[in-house]
Amino acid sequence: MDRAGGNGAGRRKRLLGDCSRGVRGPLLIVTGGVHGNEPSGVEALERVFAELERTRAPLRGRFVGLCGNLASLERGARYVDEDLNRLWTTERVDASRGGTAPATSESHEQSELLEALEAVLEPAHEGAALLDLHSTSGAGPPFAILSDRPDNRRLVEALHVPAVLGLHRDVRGTLNEWFDSLGHTSVVLEGGQNADVATRARHESAIWVALASLGLLEEDCGVDFDAHRALLEASTAHLPGAIDVCLRWGIDPGERFRMEPGYANLQRVQRGELLARTGRFGEIPIRSPFDGMLLMPLYQEQGNDGFFLGLVNASPARAGHDPRRRS
């Protein structure tokens, strides 16, 4: 079977593409638009499926592209009722299967997405991997979010982006965490700023590199993988191979959180530096408690993660990165 996605006009479909050439091999699922204000991953998937359809490149296994939050993509909002990327706890997944989840727009999205994922996972494959494509409200280079496992690290190393470790402790119920809990390779790629044209190019390159790295496409299949690797590496060469997240600033209801202007993802910050203001009237300064790296500063209305702070992971071997790439 081989179905390419649409051209992006009108309402999108859940299934963006499903490519196999009848040759047994691994399964790669790529998701885009789990947050509706992050359409770049969806657009990248549409382009890759169109290119695979055009070139008929020989492919082992199966490559499936799924659209995350259809209703919120249409509105250009992160979500409609609740964050779809916080609903993948055991309780909510069970409730979704049992039809007892709350009647929200995202419950509906989750139930369709869960059904699609489980249908794809059902036939036996030589390993399964999920690459979940996201982008951020703040500017900055691409990076990956993963749990610290060798298969996850191998994929991230192939993508030439910094590995952000330990985020699962603070952010529960992500699609990535659920897929990881099934024992499959599971990586989130944050491609850059939501509206930056470079973000889609990075997402597209990451899909091609993942297809090669996981063994679905051969290096000599006609795709310029080196150019895709170079594109990713160009914006990450100055960054450490891995970062351990050690602090999350969560925003409570009623809190007027405002990030100080001009912060970017993976920006180094110093102890005592003013990062944001918060409180009922936005009057309380928040200063960095240590020298570290800032992650995902919040520059949008929706969301309850103000920012994260991490420390450079001192062990390149642990992250599986080439030490030459370390800053």
The least distance separating Zn ion from the CB of residue 127, rounded to whole angstroms, comes to 25
The least distance separating Zn ion from the CB of residue 51, rounded to whole angstroms, comes to 24
Q: Which residue is nearest to Zn ion (CB)?
A: 134
Rg, the chain, Cα only = 19
The least distance separating Zn ion from the CB of residue 325, rounded to whole angstroms, comes to 25
Under a CB-based contact definition with an 8 Å cutoff, are residues 132 and 187 in contact?
Answer: yes
Residue 91 CB partners (closer than 8 Å, separation 6+): none
The least distance separating Zn ion from the CB of residue 78, rounded to whole angstroms, comes to 7
Question: First-to-last CA distance in the chain?
Answer: 45
Stretch that binds Zn ion, among 10-18, 132-140, 150-158, 227-235 (CB under 5 A): 132-140
Stretch that binds Zn ion, among 37-45, 265-273, 280-288, 294-302 (CB under 5 A): 37-45
Q: Which of 5, 33, 35, 72 touches Zn ion by CB under 5 A?
A: 35
Kindly tell me which of 248 and 318 has the beta carbon lying closer to Zn ion.
248
Where are the alpha helices (H) located in 56-196, listed in sequence order? Answer: 70-75, 90-98, 105-121, 150-159, 175-181
Question: What angle do the packed helices 90-98 and 105-121 form, to 10 degrees?
Answer: 90
Q: Which of 47, 134, 168, 228 touches Zn ion by CB under 5 A?
A: 134
Length of the chain: 327
Kindly tell me which of 117 and 171 has the beta carbon lying closer to Zn ion.
171
* By CB under 5 A, residue 203 contacts Zn ion: no
Residue type, 104: T
The least distance separating Zn ion from the CB of residue 224, rounded to whole angstroms, comes to 28
Stretch that binds Zn ion, among 28-36, 176-184, 296-304, 305-313 (CB under 5 A): 28-36
Kindly tell me which of 171 and 209 has the beta carbon lying closer to Zn ion.
171
Among candidates 201, 203, 214, 58, which has minimal Cα distance to 129? 214
Q: What single DSSP character describes residue 226?
A: H
CA–CA distance, 145 with 166 (Å, rounded to integer): 8
How many binding residues for Zn ion (CB under 5 A)?
A: 3
Stretch that binds Zn ion, among 31-39, 240-248, 264-272, 307-315 (CB under 5 A): 31-39
Kindly tell me which of 283 and 301 has the beta carbon lying closer to Zn ion.
301
Among candidates 2, 109, 125, which has minimal Cα distance to 65? 2
CA–CA distance, 283 with 59 (Å, rounded to integer): 56
CA–CA distance, 295 with 249 (Å, rounded to integer): 11
The least distance separating Zn ion from the CB of residue 274, rounded to whole angstroms, comes to 26
Kindly tell me which of 21 and 86 has the beta carbon lying closer to Zn ion.
86
Stretch that binds Zn ion, among 36-44, 47-55, 86-94, 317-325 (CB under 5 A): 36-44
What distance lies between CA 12 and its chain's CA centroid?
19
Stretch that binds Zn ion, among 27-35, 162-170, 196-204, 233-241 (CB under 5 A): 27-35
The least distance separating Zn ion from the CB of residue 135, rounded to whole angstroms, comes to 7
- Which CA distances in Å does 58 have to 124, 217, 270? 20, 7, 50
Kindly tell me which of 179 and 225 has the beta carbon lying closer to Zn ion.
179
- Binding residues for Zn ion, per CB under 5 A? 35, 38, 134
